[in-house]
């Protein structure tokens, strides 16, 4: 049995845990800290859906949205579609965080005198004072050295080995 969704009729529910009013309309759906908004596609014909995490001004995800049976209006949002959109938006944010971490963190492991030493470079993209922290730790995780370096410092195996062999002197 098909449910008839009228874009102008909203299903408004009270979330018992937070006393917050949740809007669940054909083109606007809110729940679980997320808002889905179906909008006219700016790049051409059709529709798009934008997923916003509560408190964020930019969407975490924007993608095409399915046309309804009349081939003019968008398919109305519903619970299963919203849940899928939330899952996808969370995955996009998780991948973005992983990519950012990979850009800001480097790690190499070298062997010196039968000892394994891990050298890390953590970039701190501070607007006023960007910098990076170069650190060395032994196999047990005990820190051997830590210094500040330029945020564009290039860490590789030979640089790490040279730093260790120099007694961890400043660059």
DSSP secondary structure letter of residue 45: S
Residue 158: band (very low, low, confident or very high) from pLDDT cuts 50, 70, 90: very high
CA distances from 80 to 23, 39, 86, 133, 162 (A): 15, 19, 10, 45, 56
Rounded distance between C-alpha atoms, residue 33 and residue 84, angstroms: 14
Q: Is the pLDDT of residue 9 over 50?
A: no
Give the model confidence (pLDDT) of 70-109 as tens digits: 888 899 999 999 999 999 999 999 999 999 999 899 999 9
Rounded distance between C-alpha atoms, residue 141 and residue 136, angstroms: 9
First-residue to last-residue Cα distance in the chain: 71
Section 19-42 average pLDDT: 88
Q: What is the CA radius of gyration of the chain?
A: 25
pLDDT score for 3: 42
Rounded distance between C-alpha atoms, residue 76 and residue 65, angstroms: 10
State the pTM of this model.
0.65
Of 62, 65, 64, 68, give the one whose Cα is nearest residue 7: 68
Q: Is the pLDDT of residue 169 over 50?
A: yes
Give the model confidence (pLDDT) of 53-63 as tens digits: 999 999 999 99
pLDDT score for 41: 82
């Amino acid at each position: 049995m098909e449910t008839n969704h009228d874009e102008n009729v909203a299903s408004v529910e009270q979330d018992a845990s937070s006393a917050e009013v949740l809007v669940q309309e054909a083109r606007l759906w809110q729940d679980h800290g997320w808002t889905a908004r179906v909008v006219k596609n700016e790049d051409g014909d059709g529709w798009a859906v934008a997923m916003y995490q509560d408190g964020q001004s930019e969407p975490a995800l924007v993608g095409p949205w399915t046309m309804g049976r009349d081939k003019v209006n968008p398919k109305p949002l519903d619970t299963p579609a919203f849940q899928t959109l939330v899952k996808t938006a969370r995955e996009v944010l998780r991948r973005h965080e992983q990519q950012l971490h990979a850009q800001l963190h480097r790690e190499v492991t070298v062997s010196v005198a039968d000892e394994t030493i891990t050298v890390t470079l953590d970039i701190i993209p501070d607007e006023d004072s960007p910098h990076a922290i170069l650190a060395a730790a032994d196999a047990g995780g005990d820190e051997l050295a830590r210094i500040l370096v330029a945020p564009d410092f290039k860490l590789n195996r030979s640089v790490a080995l040279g730093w260790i062999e120099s007694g961890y002197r400043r660059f």
